[in-house]
Structure 1
Amino acid sequence: MTTTKNSLSAALRGANSVLRFLLELAALASLGVWGYQATSILAAQLLLAIAAPLAAAVLWGAFIAPRAPIVLPAAGRTALEVVVFGSATLALVALGEPVLATVLAALAVVNIVLLTVWGQWAAARAALVRPPVGASPAARRRAA
């Protein structure tokens, strides 16, 4: 029974990680489509279609991703996640897609809560911790 429970828990956690990745892609796509539709001037369309998702991706990579070079406390990271997913949700509303916006927002909230409750953020960061260059061989073995 315990093995079945553990394997189910691992499967759910894995599914939550996949959901996270898909939500990230959906947010970037939403921002890109919104950027293109926001104006009728071609140069502005192209600029916004590139700049909006690029800004979100840079923010994500710098502060939110497990390998982010700048580690924020949980509250700060969550606030930035709300900014990214909130922007994507508003972009979908502006595009006339309130149902998709609601689905994206609801899934993002559930995902953030599960990542926190299941400790997936802490586990992802801990898995990436490496000893500094020049560390002793014993320290390198412990980190591996």
Structure 2
Amino acid sequence: MLWTALKDANLLLAFLLELAVYASAAWWAWTRPRRRPRRHWLRPFAALATVSLFAIVWGTFCAPSATFPLHGLTRAAVELAWYGAGAAALACRTVRTPCAGAIRFVGWRR
């Protein structure tokens, strides 16, 4: 009984983290600085494309009913890259250059 409750709590936490990655990717695409400020109509398409890309990667390799399910270290590496990309998108959502975003994501300061 306790084991089932812990397993269900773990699955719920994994699902909420997955939704958080989607939300951070969409937020990054929506708030990304634009070089041409008059093209605000592209923001919803950029957010949808980013979330779709994340969903395709997750559904193809990491979902319980994945097309090409991964196991062991390969799955751990893909999940680490997937969650890391979500965290990087959250950290780099308002910076103008990728280098500044990487520095901000790592937490290095002068």
CA-to-aligned-CA distance 1:96-124 (integer Å, 9 cap, x gap): 7xxxx9xxxxxxxxxxxxxxxxxxxxxxx
Matched residue, 2:24: 30
Residue 73 of structure 1 and its aligned partner are, at CA, apart by: 2.8
Residue 44 of structure 1 and its aligned partner are, at CA, apart by: 3.9
Runs of 4+ aligned structure 1 residues displaced above 4 Å come to none
Distance in 2 between the 1:22 and 1:63 partners?
Answer: 18
Q: Which runs of 5+ in 2 are unaligned?
A: 95-104, 106-110
SS of corresponding position for 2:78: helix
Distance in 2 between the 1:80 and 1:56 partners?
Answer: 12
Matched residue, 1:68: 66
Residue 13 of structure 1 and its aligned partner are, at CA, apart by: 1.1
- Considering Cα pairs closer than 8 Å and 6+ residues apart, tell me whether 1 or 2 has the greater RCO: 2
RMSD over aligned Cα, in angstroms? 1.8
Matched residue, 2:99: none
Determine if contact 1:39/1:45 at 8 Å carries over to the other structure.
Answer: no
Normalized per residue, which structure has more helix? 1
Q: Which runs of 5+ in 1 are unaligned?
A: 1-6, 102-144
Superposition pairs of residues 19-98 of structure 1, within 5 angstroms: 19-40=13-34, 41-95=39-93
Matched residue, 2:97: none
TM-score, structure 2 as length reference? 0.73
Q: What code does the residue aligned with 1:90 have?
A: A
TM-score, structure 1 as length reference? 0.57
Residue 43 of structure 1 and its aligned partner are, at CA, apart by: 4.1
CA gap 1:76/1:43 in 2 versus in 1, 3 angstroms:
farther
Residue 77 of structure 1 and its aligned partner are, at CA, apart by: 1.4
Distance in 2 between the 1:76 and 1:44 partners?
Answer: 35
Q: Number of aligned pairs?
A: 91
